[in-house]
Each structure stands twice: as C-alpha cells, then as structure tokens.
Amino acid sequence: MTTKPTVRKRRIEKLLARSGGGTKWTNRLDELPHSARNEIRSRIELGDKEEFILSSYSGKGEWCALTTERLIWLTSGHLDGRPWEEVYGIQIPPGMVKAVVLEEAEKHSLENLEVFDQNEQRYIIRPESGKGYFIVLDAIASLCSSRRKPDWPEFFLVNKEQ
C-alpha cells in the first residue's frame, strides 16, 4: 500500500521532471550546493520516516524545505514550519500579482510567497527567484490541503489601459 509520504515524494519528482529539473538553488537537497545543503540540514531534525523532497535556498537566513511530512522555512533568520495537514493554501502576494498583471514588475522578480494554515494565519516564505520560485509554488500547491482560494482574482480583471 502506498503511504501519503510516498505519494508526496512522487508528486515532487514528477513536478521536477515536467519542469526540466530543478535549479542550482531549488532542487532535491542533495543537489544543492554544499553550503546551502549544510545550512538547511543543520536546522532541521527529521522524524524517523521523514525525508527531504525539495529545498529552495535564496540566501543565508532565507530558505524553505519540503519534506514528506511538513513544510519548513527560514525567513529573516526565523525558523518555522507546519505539517502538510495544516498547510491550507499558498499564493503569490496580491500586490505582486497586480504589479505583474499591470506590467509594473516581471514575474521572474517575484520573491515572496504567502502560505496559510487552517486558521488563516499568513506566513511569508522566500524561495529562490525565477524558475525556482515557480517550482516551489507548484510543489506546495500540489501538497497542501488546497482548501483556500487566493485573495487576488479581481486583479485579473484590471484593464491595463487605465
């Protein structure tokens, strides 16, 4: 019988394959540069059957790691995390969506993602910008409970001519 952690791991493996693989800074933990890998490993104690499945390093004090059991992040030096059962949604911050739609910002300059728990508590994570950002966004969206709708649909209706 397939366990949930095994399914989570397979989903991320398929996502990485579909995206043409990870990047230097967003990939399976063992594929990251030595310094990033060591920093992440030194801050996370894994459970007995828990495994790393994806990590994104955007600088010292700024990374996120997806394991078979939870989402963990370090933002501005503060370590936090939630088990997958408590991660209810993820979104690009509404102001950034609006800026991209209005062509005031490039989508590859996005830096923050907003993660929500079952109590609507919002957490900021900072994956690598560019391709890594979208790999992390897709990965978390595929593993979270996905019960929360984004805050930003009205921004897609904005007339760019105004």
pTM, two decimal places: 0.84
The answer to the question of residue 29 being in a domain is yes
The answer to the question of residue 60 being in a domain is yes
The answer to the question of residue 162 being in a domain is no
Strands 62-67 and 52-59: what pairing?
A: antiparallel
Q: Which domain holds residue 80?
A: 4-157
The answer to the question of residue 61 being in a domain is yes
Whichever domain contains 87, its CATH number is 2.30.29
Give the total number of structural domains in the chain.
1
Per-residue pLDDT tens for 105-138?
A: 777 778 889 999 888 899 999 999 999 999 999 9
For the chain, which ranges sit under pLDDT 50?
A: 1-3, 155, 157, 159-162
Burial (0-12, 13-18, 19+ Cβ within 10 Å), 5: middle
The answer to the question of residue 131 being in a domain is yes
